[in-house]
Amino acid sequence: EEDRELLLDWGFETGAERTAEPDPVVAVVGRPNVGKSTIINRILGRREAVVEDKPGVTRDRVFYPAEWNDKTFTLVDTGGWESDAKGINAQVAAQAELAVAHADVVILVVDALVGITAMDEAIVQMLRRVRKPLLLAANKIDDAYQEPEAAALWGLGMGEPHPVSGVHGRGIADMLDELLKVMPEHSQYAEPEQYDGPRRVALIGRPNTGKSSLLNKLAGEDRAVVNDLAGTTRDPVDELVELGGLPFRFVDTAGIRRRQHMAKGAEFYASLRTQTALERSEVAVVLLDVSEPLSEQDVRILQLAIESGRALVLAFNKWDTLDEDRRYELEREIDRDLAHVAWAPRVNLSAKTGWHKDKLVPALLRSLESWDSRIPTGRLNAFLGEIVAAHPHPVRGGKQPRILFGTQVSSRPPKFVLFTTGFLDPGYRRFITRRLRETFDFEGTPIEVTMRVRE
């Protein structure tokens, strides 16, 4: 059968991707304004310095694929770092710590012209605890005569300062040569759950949509309870289910199997469960009951799934109950309430009879493949070039913002950053996003497109 062939295809591809060893991860840290972004741009070989368009929004971890002397690695931009951070800065600091935890090598950037500050010292203290190989970049040494300023950074006790100039590129090549010496072949610290084991599925939906019936139908007699996940205080129980010859891990099925009586407050707990399951999953199956009108609760759960950034499949259950009238209504409900997730594959099935249950796996694999995918920078920029030539941004107040360059900064889900000469209209952003989706076929995954405006 055609589905089966596709399934084997996808199974192979997703399998191959997941056994590949992750590239080493290099985190660039330092207090704000020392020149981290400038150095990162220099390493990536971009000419223009860029800044984020919305401070605080895009200042989380951003991953860039990088290369030096044929060795590939992942550069992590950690944003600024305030040691006694509160609010948004605390979030940034937490992101930076997380980045360091999952990095194989750390580049600490210090402004050599300013010299050692209390904040630099605080960062060093934190880095001492994690004991990762570290390169100390003494930045803003634009000229040889300034090198004694770099030497003063021996005082941090973090080894030899490498005098560099992010702006002029001076010393960057030498520092990267040093980086290759301390960098492992593959990452030892990259978040492991991203790289191994069966794909993790969250089966979610409001009560009585048929989650437990579907799980039973899928699992059949061979159901195996895997384990309580070590290290959590909650009680997620996962089940490993083999479907179409591939193992899938259904997460937090305890919440599905324990019959929930919808007492007061129960909806709140159901929603917590949904969130927990989503957090631990890679792909969400949102189950909808076609025997009843789509409800606000359905739409809310769907929204949680979209916002979680997981791959998504919509499953319309109880198809066996459908008559002509209801079918017509359903189509109208879908048009009205689900237009914003037209990108998610849909499966019509019946958990009761088992009808179409084998359609679920190809849909899961298709969504996961989109979720995993990486668009090579060359292809992305060829696409951007074409689309911008055919549909330039409208002129606004005598100015016409241009897209200079784009790159996919991460996958799972795919996230893109466009470097521009000005702010793009929301309508134009949506247009670019829609074309991106169509051109690269991101069926089943949310995608994110952000802009960075050139200084």
As annotated, the binding site for GTP includes 30-37, 77-81, 139-142, 205-212, 252-256, 317-320
Cα–Cα distance for residue pair 351/3, rounded to 1 Å: 19
Residue 42 contacts ligand GDP per CB under 6 A: no
Q: Toward ligand GDP, which CB reaches closer, 8 or 152?
A: 152
Tokens of residue 226, six digits? 């895997």
244 binds ligand GDP, rule: CB under 6 A: no
User: Which pair of tokens denotes residue 426?
Assistant: 């929301």
318 forms part of the interface with ligand GDP (CB under 6 A) = yes
Question: Whole-number minimum distance, CB 319 to ligand GDP, in Å?
Answer: 7
**Residues 265-304: x/- map of binding to ligand GDP (CB under 6 A)?**
----------------------------------------
CA 80, 83, 89, 95 dihedral sign is: positive
Least separation in angstroms between residue 249's CB and ligand GDP is: 18
DSSP designation for 135: E
φ/ψ of residue 60, rounded to 5: -105, -170
Q: Which is nearer to ligand GDP, 49 or 254 (CB)?
A: 49
Which of 198, 207, 309, 422 touches ligand GDP (CB under 6 A)? 207
Rounded to whole angstroms, the Cα distance separating 32 from 218 reads: 52
**ω into residue 22 within 30 of 0, thus cis?**
no
Round to whole Å and give the CA distance between 102 and 125.
Answer: 18
Query: Does 34 sit near ligand GDP (CB under 6 A)?
Result: yes
Figure out which of the listed residues 76, 103, 246, 256 binds ligand GDP, where binding follows CB under 6 A. 256
Segment holding 61, helix H or strand E: none
Subset of residues 66 to 105 that bind ligand GDP, contact rule: CB under 6 A: 80
Which residues from 164-203 bind ligand GDP, rule CB under 6 A?
Answer: 165-167
**Options 74, 89, 139, 445; binder of ligand GDP; rule CB under 6 A:** 139
Signed CA dihedral, 299, 305, 308, 309: sign only: negative
Euclidean distance between CA atoms 190 and 183, whole angstroms: 13
Beta-carbon contacts of 128 under 8 Å, excluding residues fewer than 6 positions away, are none
CA distance 29 to 158: 14
Q: Which of residues 341-360 bind ligand GDP (CB under 6 A)?
A: 350-352
**Exactly one of 59, 211, 310, 437 binds ligand GDP (CB under 6 A); which one?**
211
Please select the residue that binds ligand GDP; options are 22, 35, 163, 171, rule is CB under 6 A.
Answer: 35
Pairing, β 199-204 against β 283-289: parallel
70, exposed or middle or buried, with CB in 10 Å at 0-12, 13-18, 19+?
A: exposed
Residue 212 in contact with ligand GDP, rule: CB under 6 A: yes
Question: From the CB of 111, what's the least distance to ligand GDP, in Å?
Answer: 8
Q: Under the rule (CB under 6 A), what is the footprint of ligand GDP?
A: 30, 32-38, 49, 80, 139-140, 142, 165-167, 205, 207-213, 256, 317-318, 320-321, 350-352
